[in-house]
Structure 1
Amino acid sequence: MASSAPAATTPRIAIIGAGPGGLVLARLLHLASIPFSLYEAEPSRTSREQGGSLDLHEESGQLALHAAGLHSEWKKIARSEGEDMRVADKHGKIFMEEVDSQGGGRPEVDRIQLRALLLDSLPEGMIQWGHKVRSISPSSDGDGKHEVHIETASGPRTETFDLVVGADGAWSKVRPLLSDTKPHYSTISCLDTRIRSVDTLHPVISKLVGQGAYFAFSDRRGLVAQRNGDGSIRTYIMLQKPETWLKEVGVDWSDAHAAKNFMLDQEYKDWNEELKSLIAHANPDIVPRSLYMLPTDFSWTSKPGLTLLGDAAHLMTPFAGEGVNMAMVDALDLSKAIAKAGSEGENTTLFDAIKAFEESMLERSHEKMEETWRNLELFFRPDAPKEFVQAFEEMMAAHGPPPEVPKAYS
């Protein structure tokens, strides 16, 4: 009589990073009663600004929330009106407008609210805040395990795990163990700005942007203005420049007055006055950013005891709104792989389950990375946004709206 597969032992799992991908994975493993350690370098949940809003897609981000039992709670904070969108040029000429569409299945939610929803879904003490991963190294036993070297307020320590999940973003500490490839500059430099109390202080700007997002692109420059749930408008001032431009142009970006004057007098001097007001009325907390990305065909050879998700696996720019969505569905698929390998009677090893997950995840992410790169090129052409709108309309005509959530998501 054939022998049955042996009962699986419970692996020790480390999740590095408490971003959306790491938190969704933690929530799903918690629901499945699979133990893990979650390390986050930030000292607390309130220690850092979380950025603007994002749209969650039915086939990815929302799918993960369904599986995590959080979709109904998310619906309470989601804003369908946030899907409104206008695309214009520097003169304010509208090339595309989608307003009051009754929601297209991709509602907006502020990043801080999504993060709070995920954090509150985990028991107190499950996230080890203030635990900065210094390095990761293979175990001396040569058994596929890895040692995670952590710096904490009480001093350094080392833990050994059967699986280390790199959910630690663009400059992942886990990725170098799988690949020598590093993120490269995307050609886009950005100032992250915000206008608070816009409805009362700047009603003209409030009307211009509306309840969703306003995109203006011309001459390899862009202004992306986005309504947030707190009533503020966050504007991303984007320019296609050399990688060192932010450092070498000679502007002290911490001086809001100097930063705004430079943009208005030099880079956006011939733009419509209404659009320039998005820069002129920005609050003082201006943050300069250089946008980086991984190659659109980035991949690695699977190795026992390691894997990646989210930006660590497929860092891309925001020009298709896919980053967080991909991270969340990565976490969903990875949780299924871990659970499968841990099931009694399963012949699938943890390594084989993770390898299958990686193959599927990379195939999906390559498609989205290509889409994001194409959008970037279209937005920053000299004749933008004409070609972007044309490409968008052709895509919608060929493929229609995004797919609905599959019924069997669990």
Structure 2
Amino acid sequence: MKKVENEEVSWTICPECQGRGKKSRGLSKKVRLRYQLAFDQFEKTKDEGIAPVRPKGHLHSCLKCSGSGLVHSASPPIADKENYPHVAIIGGGIGGVALAVACLHRGIPFTLYERDSNFDARSQGYGLTLQQASKAIEGLGIFSLEQGVISTRHVVHTTEGKVIGEWGNRKWIQSEAKTSPKRSNVHIARQSLRLALLEQLGGQDALHWEHQLVDFAACEDGGVDLNFQVDGKMKNYKADLVVGADGIRSSVRRLLVSDDITPLRYLGCIVILGICPLSALEGPHSSLLDSATVFQTANGNERIYIMPYTADSVMWQLSFPMPEKEAKMLSAQGPRALKEEACLRTQWHDPIPPILAATQETQISGYPVYDRELLSSELLAKAGKATLIGDAAHPMSPFKGQGANQALLDALTLARGISRGCRPLSQWRKNGIRESVLTKFEAEMLERSATKVKDSAAAAQFLHSEIVLHEGDAPRGRCLKKKEA
């Protein structure tokens, strides 16, 4: 991600690539001739066999917008209410706010609803790692993250402190190995990223706070009626498209797809999270706490993962197998019990015990880990003028760090799909928003996220087994795949 300052400017889609960030190079003469010959041969056989698929030109990054899909604008685009659908976004988390930002840049009218009373109403998660999405956020008008921290080293230890795996930029530089360029992982507090996205919308007033969705239904004029509970009263709103971005226990998903069909699936372990300022640690600091190193320690049952949270603090994530009933009970007992359990299980090498001991109870939380069975396109096809993104569509365990990444990609992809599928003269109102936009979007989203869900579920198992102790300079999942191969 570019290390430049975010400018206080408005954005609109790039006229060269129409906000996609990529342009087609077109087909070479050789490819066009080959396709034409194959098509002519198909026609000569009186349509027997399978018709050749018309090739697509290779895509390249748009030079005008440097691949972001955005260019500067004197003011935010005016919402085009005549041509575009009005989008009701349910959920003001990372995915919902990102979708609102992407709609803003494209002049797509939207309203963003959130059940919480304000930005800090409840715990909003801890740190997250931007992987694929570190590039995607440029498509949301964010070209630098002031609070973001880039890690350049990842180390895996046994509980005695023996290094059994190491990788990252510093490892490659030290070894002088010939490797292809690697992307950097950007670590940032979830709330910091959420705030950066909200700033694109002009601040927190862009959300309709304290709006709890009750139900919605298609109405005779072709739109959707939505009912919310607001301060003990019912309020009605209208939209053309409803997008559920309201998390793993999504109200929108429950209304579209019964929880009986795709219930929460317990992944057999609990996670305890904490944030510790480096200033709270006494004595000399470990080289692992240089604000650029991620490290994990495991014994085949418990596993702790510690990463930079800000330039002067770290986030830790301890996880271990536990029956669901016990995991729920421990979580319900609150931060003190969670901290005691964490400290008891991690009398390991430094600096782990001091970090956990110095973490204040107010900075600790814990929960059983769940996901859901993968949705199918057939299930969503019945959703009509509604769809899902992020954890509402494909919840996954936190062990691959993919939840926020996939939500950001979903948001940008959906906004681009609306911009393309509902452009003037598209007749989307006649053909329906599902045929014009949603079917293609959902197929792409489900295909992209499916491997992430599966890999995250698998990680919940192998990170708490002997496999994690395999010696090798690569992520544990990659080691497992090599062994299986």
* TM value normalised by structure 1: 0.83
Matches of 1:68 and 1:386, distance apart in 2 = 39
Please tell me whether Structure 1 or Structure 2 has the larger radius of gyration of its CA atoms: 2
SS of residue paired to 1:276: helix
CA RMSD of aligned residues (A): 2.9
How many matched pairs?
379
Among 47, 54, 64, the alignment partner of 2:136 is 64
What is the Cα deviation at residue 63 of structure 1?
Answer: 3.8
Structure 2 letter corresponding to 1:79 = V
> Residue in 1 aligned with 2:45?
none
What is the Cα deviation at residue 366 of structure 1?
Answer: 0.4
Among 452, 456, 460, the alignment partner of 1:376 is 460
Structure 2 letter corresponding to 1:335 = A
> Residue in 2 aligned with 1:152?
230
Deviations 1:166-203 (A, max 9, x none): 0000100111233221221121212222222x246345
Structure 1 letter corresponding to 2:356 = I
What is the Cα deviation at residue 252 of structure 1?
Answer: 7.5
SS of residue paired to 2:360: coil
SS of residue paired to 1:193: strand
Tell me the percent identity: 25
Matches of 1:375 and 1:295, distance apart in 2 = 16
1:24 and 2:98 correspond: yes
Structure showing greater relative contact order (alpha-carbon pairs closer than 8 Å, 6 or more residues apart): 1
Please show how residues 7-406 of structure 1 align to structure 2 within 5 Å. 9-58=83-132, 61-70=133-142, 72-74=143-145, 76-80=146-150, 82-98=151-167, 101=170, 104-124=183-203, 125-133=205-213, 135-139=214-218, 141=220, 145-153=223-231, 155-180=233-258, 181-196=262-277, 198-199=278-279, 201-203=281-283, 206-211=286-291, 212-229=293-310, 231-248=312-329, 253-254=333-334, 256=336, 258-265=337-344, 267-268=345-346, 271-272=348-349, 274-285=351-362, 286-296=364-374, 300-302=379-381, 303-347=383-427, 349=431, 350-352=433-435, 353-386=437-470, 389=475, 391-393=477-479
Matches of 1:340 and 1:377, distance apart in 2 = 41
SS of residue paired to 1:316: coil
Structure 1 letter corresponding to 2:414 = L
> Residue in 2 aligned with 1:400?
none
Tell me, which stretches of 5 or more residues in structure 2 are unaligned?
1-80, 174-181
Matches of 1:54 and 1:150, distance apart in 2 = 31
SS of residue paired to 1:44: coil
What is the Cα deviation at residue 379 of structure 1?
Answer: 0.6
Is contact 2:346–2:352 with CA below 8 Å preserved after alignment? no
Structure 1 letter corresponding to 2:323 = P
Is contact 1:12–1:35 with CA below 8 Å preserved after alignment? yes
* TM value normalised by structure 2: 0.71
Is contact 1:307–1:354 with CA below 8 Å preserved after alignment? yes
Tell me, which stretches of 5 or more residues in structure 1 are unaligned?
1-6, 398-410
Matches of 2:191 and 2:325, distance apart in 1 = 30
Matches of 1:351 and 1:88, distance apart in 2 = 49
Matches of 1:315 and 1:41, distance apart in 2 = 19
What is the Cα deviation at residue 89 of structure 1?
Answer: 2.2
Matches of 2:105 and 2:246, distance apart in 1 = 22
What is the Cα deviation at residue 206 of structure 1?
Answer: 4.8
Is contact 2:281–2:355 with CA below 8 Å preserved after alignment? no
Is contact 2:470–2:479 with CA below 8 Å preserved after alignment? no
Matches of 2:438 and 2:332, distance apart in 1 = 46
SS of residue paired to 1:384: helix
What is the Cα deviation at residue 323 of structure 1?
Answer: 0.8
Deviations 1:105-155 (A, max 9, x none): 32222222211110111035321122222x2232353x7643322122373
Is the deviation greater in 287-296 or in 356-365? 287-296
